[in-house]
Structure 1
Amino acid sequence: MGGGPERYVGVGERRGRIGVRHLLGREVRAGRPEEVASALVALHGSDPATVYLAVGARLAGSVKTVGETERALYEDRALVRMHGMRHTVFVFPAELVAVVHASTGVTVAARERASLVKDMARAGAPDAVWLAEVEESALAALGRRGEATASELALDEPRLREQFTYAAGKSYEGVHTVSTRLLRVLGTEGKVVRGRPLGSWTSSQFRWAVAPAHPELDVAEAQAALLGRWLAVCGPATEDDLKWWTGWKVTEVRRALAAIGARAVALDEGTGWVTAEDVEPVAGPVEPWAALLPALDPTAMGWRQRDWYLAPELRPQLFDRSGNVGPTVWWNGRVVGGWAQRADGEIVWRVLEKEGVGREAEAAIGAEAERLRGWVGATRVTPRFRTPLERELAG
């Protein structure tokens, strides 16, 4: 890492890289959910349906999207749902669990446990020693059961039902149950992971399971490994993009860039970074491509600076007030509109940016809508974070 930019990478090449490396061009689509997760590094898991919709958009054949993704998540355990960057739930390839935990989870976990102990103390609840006893008992019960809900674990460890008042006297005062907060802490610490949902693949209520064993890695080495893996998929990216995506301090980002020998390139936004092996130009897919990506899709949420693939004037209709992106329609590496599912199951879409979107594009977008409806079937999918355009189209 060092020196001036080696070359300029324009918007056209960056959009072409999306088509190839994010498996969106028809000729580069994947055959299995594991391949999708590995290619993208992480699939957003805050909205459970996003995982399946993001996988389905990138599979060569989407008929078995749900069954194959459930197999990878809950039978083979090739994919793991856990807390990661920015204190957000993601689905990662199993081989990245240790890397994510060391690079990001350890810091978050320490903060979460300290916050829980502090909140309990303020409420006059039992102390950290009591909490440790409950934790040990709960983990043992979870190990015996294999998978369990918080309510089921409370049958074995009744102290999990204890409640305490949070932020007493404040406008956001509330009552927390020990099980809710403790399981969250154990999740960030890498001791438990989310198991099968209680309902269908769109359900947001999950069972818990003991996390698979993984080695404890050096933090700096893990950060370098994660940043290098992501940059190979999403590079070039600015320092601001990297800091936002990882949730790390700028000093940590710079240390990781130096560790992997990242190379500077010039972008319209300023200096961008690529891996040492990725300096040469990259061609996009041979055929033009269209995609219907879900809310919180990892491509749409991949960078903090998005003007090169998403026009600023489209954002009010495609994002909610918290900055969460809704379902998007893509044409050749840029967002051109949005989509939704109506109550009768129909997939409807609208192009918001007309420039460069002719008959070929509309035919390709329509074909993707039909492909999506074909495998979603009778399931109704409503994004957890709804946006103005999605609400309007859903009707």
Structure 2
Amino acid sequence: MGGNGRQRHIGAAERRARLALRHRLAGPARADRPEEIAASLVALHGTDPATVYLAAGARLTDPARTVPETERALYEDRTLVRMHGMRHTVFVFPTDLTAVVHASTGLAVAARARASLVKDMAKAGAPDAAWLAEVEASALAALARRGQATAAQLATDEPRLREQFVYAAGKSYEGVHTVSTRLLRVLGVEGKVVRGRPLGSWTSSQFRWAVAPEHPELDGAAAQADLLRHWLAACGPATEADLKWWTGWRVTEVRRALSAIGAEPVTLDEGTGYVVKDDVAPVADPEEPWAALLPGLDPTAMAWQHRDWYLAPELRPALFDGSGNVGPTVWWNGRVVGGWAQRPDGEIVWRVLADGAGADAGVGRATEAAIAREAERLRGWLGPTRVTPRFRTPLERELSA
């Protein structure tokens, strides 16, 4: 992992070229199946269910197939799985990566989540851990019998799931939690259950649960190295800070994984970055200019902690909410240049906030025409569906009004 004094510099322009091709955003790089997209990005953000479909649709060669193809992958073929991953966040992963994610990030999060649940229940005077273990075993058995079920359905088989306890009594954020809500979340991060089909359409956040498919138990350090290799191949170069932010690991874990995969250091405008071994060859810009309309929480917009090379700082107040969640963004040749929204009548409206290219090329008529084509492409496959981002941002609220 050490440098030899002749590290190659990868500038912002080349990073944007890598992003265009590896994230399937430039026209010729688009994919035929959602599985290809998830593999190229490592994971699709799943906190907002609509993001999974909107992120896939922006990258598919035939966006009209977005919903049936994504549902096939998630619920029929099970080649994609929605589960907790990095930073206790819900993502959609390729199924063959779930064991790696579980061992590299899920186990540590799961231990904290279970300890927190037991502690909160004890503070509230709720039954002890032995009682919880009994309820858990009963709920998992009921879920296995049913195949898929909502928390309410499971509670008809195991009524103790309906038990409630007061959380953070006396605090300003005091609330009442149901055992089923907290327990199913813990079982999810422990890799024992996964989210199944939603109760409503693909935009619904009310999911059924299913027993998680069996997967091998991997060594944690080896799994971290494997996950880092996948991510750097998709998003490299990246700094240690980017890697720590995306994974949620300690910096010592990041450095150990970088060393394990033999990551090569390069210089970036913001300092030292890393790529996977033998990934230092120059990457040329796509042959044709490209535009994209990406959803809130899109994995490309959220992949790095340092974002100035594709997102000007002055655009952030309009495009992010108060918690740091990005809203719908308009892209031109690897830069965020504005945002978009869907109005109640289905129209896709957008606004350019910056030229996105500094002195080299402004956003002129050709650029606006390309963005307009992407907006029409999006409206075409959405049809009658109306999508409101879970985390709303100032510009999205303004445009959708």
TM class by smaller structure: over 0.9
Q: Which residue of 349, 370, 373 maps to 2:376? A: 370
- Does residue 203 of the first structure (1) align with residue 204 of the second (2)? yes
Aligned residues of 1:5 and 1:266 also touching (Cα < 8 A): no
Aligned residues of 1:44 and 1:50 also touching (Cα < 8 A): yes
In the other structure, the counterpart of 1:145 is: 146
**Which structure 2 residues correspond to residues 297-312 of structure 1 after superposition, within 5 A?**
297-312=298-313
**Which structure 2 residues correspond to residues 114-133 of structure 1 after superposition, within 5 A?**
114-133=115-134
The alpha-carbon deviation at position 5 of structure 1 amounts to 5.7
Q: Superposition RMSD on alpha carbons, in Å? A: 0.7
Q: Find the aligned partners of 1:155 and 1:80 in 2 and give their Cα distance.
A: 26
Aligned residues of 1:262 and 1:276 also touching (Cα < 8 A): yes
Q: Find the aligned partners of 1:109 and 1:33 in 2 and give their Cα distance.
A: 28
Counterpart of 1:290, as a letter, is A
Q: Find the aligned partners of 2:61 and 2:148 in 1 and give their Cα distance.
A: 32
In the other structure, the counterpart of 1:389 is: 395
Deviation above 6 Å: which 4+ runs of structure 1? none
In the other structure, the counterpart of 1:236 is: 237
Aligned residues of 1:138 and 1:156 also touching (Cα < 8 A): yes
In the other structure, the counterpart of 1:260 is: 261
Matched residues, number? 395
- Does residue 215 of the first structure (1) align with residue 221 of the second (2)? no
In the other structure, the counterpart of 1:13 is: 14
TM-score (norm 2): 0.98
Q: Find the aligned partners of 1:376 and 1:117 in 2 and give their Cα distance.
A: 43
Instruction: State the secondary structure of the residue aligned to 1:382.
Output: coil
In the other structure, the counterpart of 1:314 is: 315
Counterpart of 1:261, as a letter, is G
In the other structure, the counterpart of 1:2 is: 2
Q: Find the aligned partners of 2:94 and 2:306 in 1 and give their Cα distance.
A: 26
Instruction: State the secondary structure of the residue aligned to 1:195.
Output: strand
Q: Find the aligned partners of 2:18 and 2:12 in 1 and give their Cα distance.
A: 10
Counterpart of 1:187, as a letter, is G
Q: What per-residue deviation string (whole Å, max 9, x for no partner) do you get for residues 129-153 of structure 1?
A: 1101100000000000000000000
Instruction: State the secondary structure of the residue aligned to 1:181.
Output: helix
Q: What per-residue deviation string (whole Å, max 9, x for no partner) do you get for residues 149-205 of structure 1?
A: 000000000010111111111111111110000000000000000000011100011
The alpha-carbon deviation at position 277 of structure 1 amounts to 2.1
In the other structure, the counterpart of 1:72 is: 73
Instruction: State the secondary structure of the residue aligned to 1:64.
Output: helix
TM-score (norm 1): 0.99
In the other structure, the counterpart of 1:84 is: 85
Q: What per-residue deviation string (whole Å, max 9, x for no partner) do you get for residues 345-379 of structure 1?
A: 00000100035211221111110000000000000
Counterpart of 2:37, as a letter, is V
Aligned residues of 1:5 and 1:264 also touching (Cα < 8 A): no
Q: Find the aligned partners of 2:241 and 2:289 in 1 and give their Cα distance.
A: 30
Counterpart of 2:169, as a letter, is A
Instruction: State the secondary structure of the residue aligned to 1:245.
Output: helix
In the other structure, the counterpart of 1:106 is: 107
Q: Find the aligned partners of 1:277 and 1:377 in 2 and give their Cα distance.
A: 44
Decide whether aligned partners of structure 1 residues 115 and 344 sit closer, same or farther in structure 2, where only a CA change above 3 A counts.
same
- Does residue 193 of the first structure (1) align with residue 194 of the second (2)? yes
The alpha-carbon deviation at position 206 of structure 1 amounts to 0.4
Instruction: State the secondary structure of the residue aligned to 1:226.
Output: helix
Q: Find the aligned partners of 2:395 and 2:170 in 1 and give their Cα distance.
A: 38
Instruction: State the secondary structure of the residue aligned to 2:371.
Output: helix
Q: What per-residue deviation string (whole Å, max 9, x for no partner) do you get for residues 237-279 of structure 1?
A: 0000000000000000000000000011010000000001201
What runs of 5+ residues in structure 2 fail to find an aligned partner? none
What runs of 5+ residues in structure 1 fail to find an aligned partner? none
In the other structure, the counterpart of 1:358 is: 364
Counterpart of 1:344, as a letter, is D
Instruction: State the secondary structure of the residue aligned to 1:17.
Output: helix
Aligned residues of 1:296 and 1:324 also touching (Cα < 8 A): yes
Instruction: State the secondary structure of the residue aligned to 1:160.
Output: helix
The alpha-carbon deviation at position 13 of structure 1 amounts to 0.3
Q: What per-residue deviation string (whole Å, max 9, x for no partner) do you get for residues 308-357 of structure 1?
A: 00000000000001000000000000000000000100000010003521
Q: What per-residue deviation string (whole Å, max 9, x for no partner) do you get for residues 1-48 of structure 1?
A: 112461110111000001100000101100001110011000000000
Decide whether aligned partners of structure 1 residues 339 and 107 sit closer, same or farther in structure 2, where only a CA change above 3 A counts.
same
In the other structure, the counterpart of 2:334 is: 333
**Which structure 2 residues correspond to residues 54-65 of structure 1 after superposition, within 5 A?**
54-65=55-66
Instruction: State the secondary structure of the residue aligned to 2:63.
Output: coil
Counterpart of 2:140, as a letter, is L
The alpha-carbon deviation at position 284 of structure 1 amounts to 2.5
Identity of aligned residues (%): 79
Aligned residues of 1:125 and 1:164 also touching (Cα < 8 A): yes
- Does residue 251 of the first structure (1) align with residue 257 of the second (2)? no
Q: Find the aligned partners of 2:23 and 2:90 in 1 and give their Cα distance.
A: 20
Counterpart of 2:17, as a letter, is G
Counterpart of 1:393, as a letter, is L
